[in-house]
Structure 1
Amino acid sequence: MPEGHVIHRLAREHRRAFGGHRVRAQSPQGRFADGALLIDGRTLTEADAHGKHLLLGFDDERWLHVHLGIYGRYTFGPSPAPAPTGMVRLRLSGDDEYADLRGPNTCELLDPAGKKELHARLGPDPLRADADPELAWRRIGRSRTSIGILLMDQSVVAGVGNIYRAEALFRQGIAPSRPGRDLSRARWEAVWEDLVTLMADGVRVGHIDTVRPEHTPEAMGRPPRVDGHGGEVYVYRRSGMPCHLCGTEIRTEVLTGRNLFWCPACQTG
């Protein structure tokens, strides 16, 4: 499932391609035909993201809400758009570009009240200027639940997925099994600041890099990572491999249906 930086990049792409312009909307697949009809010919006025949720605002105060889930994806291309292929849920077309949405978990229209309700049920997003990490701390600081689970709870922190969860905890030396209430406020603030920095870098470069400059392949004289996810990481998808810092074997286990990765030597705090 795409993590929050991907959705913020999609918001940016929609602003660039369609912002301030009327768009044509259609649902070749047919599953969003009624919704597409309502926004067809409307002007895209805003493109927003909160966690893993994309929100496109139109001049009639409707908001298109998209959650890609596991299988959803966007493709952009130059106009005129070719005949749609595959199961295109929604196509937005402008004078210069088009965007096709396939396989989303959610594709719906919200009124302003519905958008407000969506924001209210999501935790602070490290990529949003209005994010308040104090709201997350109120939940984390009194919870018996492990920090490894809490960071993946979108009502606690929005936008963090499996990679950012594993990497931020490694970088701060925190065991993922540690209960939230056992973290000090200072440790939580360090995790938050790390997420802000790492996720902003993800928006900028389009992939996830989490290793510090002194731990890059060039600095350490080690081979670069070879993985379809791209980017240099400390523990994510490195189960059974030696830790870059201490050489201990990276461990993994399934936690609430997702693979969790950590170094048992470096992450003792």
Structure 2
Amino acid sequence: MPEGHSVHRIARQFDRNYVGRVVAASSPQGRFAEGAALLDGREAVSVRAVGKQMFLAFDGDLWLRVHLGMYGAWDFAGEILVDPTIASANGRMGQTNQRGTDLVDSDLDGDAPVLDAAGENSLTSIGAPRRARVHVRMSEQTRGLDAPGDHDDADEWPPPVVGQVRLRLMTDITCADLRGPTACELQTPDEVQATIAKLGPDPLVDDPVAGEERFTEVVRRKPTPIGLLLMDQSVVSGIGNVYRAELLYRALLDPHTPGKLVPEEVVRSIWRDWSRLLVIGVETGQMMTMDDLDPEAYRRAMAHRDDRHWVYHRAGLPCRVCGTEIVLEEMGARKLYWCPSCQK
């Protein structure tokens, strides 16, 4: 499931490439045909992300709410103006986070991109706004840069519809296809506010001090295990399975500890750590949760998920600190990884 950093990156991509432009909307799959018809021909006027949800506003006080859920993803094609605050020439963003996307015909400068094992293309530096042409491979198994002069379906405009596309949003040079979301609906401004009011604080949206106070107050009065509270989007927005495991390890906290028994200073440290990790995730496009890596170790970590986490996806392997076998269990119908020795 896409976690909060991915959704903020997607929102920033829409801000750079859609806000201020008239959008052509359609529903190739047909499941959002009426909604697409209402959006078609309107100007996108603003966008915001809160936790795992994105809200795209159009003229006429009409908002598109998208929650990607477990399997949703956005695919971008065309000319993408990269947001200077994020370090990726974005292609696929969401459940597979750019897998199957190649950077072609680019004029990007700066450091060479680091390609991770899932096909993610993240630059190691953040520069001024840069324009890059990207396309989505028809086969997710095909990766690599096209040779000069190659021609394939990526040369077509608009791009051919591939698979079950719930919603296609197009400008004259950019195309975004939405697939497999949990929620894709139109809302009024009041409905948007009601939706957001049900969500917990988001470090990139809420005032940091107010967000910390709200998070701390809720956690400290709950008998629910902290491992469940961190996944509750009404308690805190944006944390998913990866960040949950890593935040708990970094706090050296047993996931089963009731929220009300977690010391206040630990609860506050978790909020501040989440605020920091979220910014890193938005900037790099990857859930980097290990600190103080030397340049070579950092590059390995950017290239391979197994090198950038303390406990996540390390069931049965020795803890990086104490050597105890990392435990895998189910909590809240999701896999939880933790070290029973460090996290006492």
Which interval holds the TM-score relative to the shorter structure?
Answer: over 0.9
Shift of 1:231: 5.9
The structure whose RCO (Cα within 8 Å, separation 6+) is larger is 2
Tell me the SS of whatever aligns to 1:238: coil
The equivalent of 2:195 in structure 1 is 118
Letter in 1 for 2:328: T
Shift of 1:133: 2.3
Tell me the SS of whatever aligns to 1:213: coil
Shift of 1:218: 3.5
> Judging changes above 3 Å, is the alpha-carbon distance between structure 1 residues 114 and 73 closer, same or farther for their aligned structure 2 residues?
same
Tell me the SS of whatever aligns to 1:65: strand
Normalised TM-score (structure 1)? 0.93
Tell me the SS of whatever aligns to 1:9: helix
Q: Deviations over 1:149-183 (max 9, x none)?
A: 00000110111001111101111111111110011
Shift of 1:262: 0.7
Whether the 8 Å CA contact 1:63–1:115 is kept in 2: the answer is: yes
Query: What is the distance in 1 between the residues matched to 2:275 and 2:307?
Result: 17
Determine whether 1:142 maps to 2:221. yes
Q: Deviations over 1:42-79 (max 9, x none)?
A: 11111111111011011111110001111111100017
The equivalent of 2:326 in structure 1 is 250
Q: Deviations over 1:178-209 (max 9, x none)?
A: 11001122111100010001011001001111
Greater mean alpha carbon deviation, residues 31-40 or residues 208-217? 208-217
The equivalent of 1:162 in structure 2 is 241
- How many residue pairs get matched? 265
Determine whether 1:171 maps to 2:250. yes
Whether the 8 Å CA contact 2:24–2:41 is kept in 1: the answer is: yes
The equivalent of 2:9 in structure 1 is 9
Normalised TM-score (structure 2)? 0.73
Find runs of 4+ consecutive structure 1 residues off by over 4 angstroms: 214-217, 224-231
> Judging changes above 3 Å, is the alpha-carbon distance between structure 1 residues 166 and 27 closer, same or farther for their aligned structure 2 residues?
same
Determine whether 1:199 maps to 2:275. no
Shift of 1:263: 0.8
The equivalent of 2:73 in structure 1 is 73
The equivalent of 1:208 in structure 2 is 287
Query: What is the distance in 2 between the residues matched to 1:150 and 1:250?
Result: 21
Tell me the SS of whatever aligns to 2:74: strand
Letter in 1 for 2:276: T
The equivalent of 1:96 in structure 2 is 173
Tell me the SS of whatever aligns to 1:92: strand
Determine whether 1:190 maps to 2:276. no
Tell me the SS of whatever aligns to 2:233: coil
Q: Which runs of 5+ in 1 are unaligned?
A: none
The equivalent of 2:97 in structure 1 is none
The equivalent of 1:265 in structure 2 is 341
Tell me the SS of whatever aligns to 2:166: strand
Tell me the SS of whatever aligns to 1:208: coil
Shift of 1:83: 2.4
Query: What is the distance in 2 between the residues matched to 1:258 and 1:194?
Result: 22
Query: What is the distance in 2 between the residues matched to 1:64 and 1:230?
Result: 36
The equivalent of 1:237 in structure 2 is 313
The equivalent of 2:21 in structure 1 is 21
Query: What is the distance in 2 between the residues matched to 1:136 and 1:106?
Result: 25
C-alpha RMSD over aligned residues: 2.1
Whether the 8 Å CA contact 1:207–1:231 is kept in 2: the answer is: no
> Judging changes above 3 Å, is the alpha-carbon distance between structure 1 residues 216 and 181 closer, same or farther for their aligned structure 2 residues?
farther
Identity %: 45
The equivalent of 1:85 in structure 2 is 162
Query: What is the distance in 2 between the residues matched to 1:163 and 1:128?
Result: 21
Letter in 2 for 1:99: A
Greater mean alpha carbon deviation, residues 132-141 or residues 117-126? 132-141
Tell me the SS of whatever aligns to 2:14: helix
Tell me the SS of whatever aligns to 1:38: helix
The equivalent of 1:37 in structure 2 is 37
Query: What is the distance in 1 between the residues matched to 2:336 and 2:237?
Result: 18
Query: What is the distance in 1 between the residues matched to 2:306 and 2:72?
Result: 19
Letter in 2 for 1:198: L
Greater mean alpha carbon deviation, residues 126-135 or residues 231-240? 126-135
Q: Deviations over 1:206-265 (max 9, x none)?
A: 11110111599739xxxx569975760000010111111111111111012111111111
Tell me the SS of whatever aligns to 1:88: coil
Letter in 1 for 2:200: G
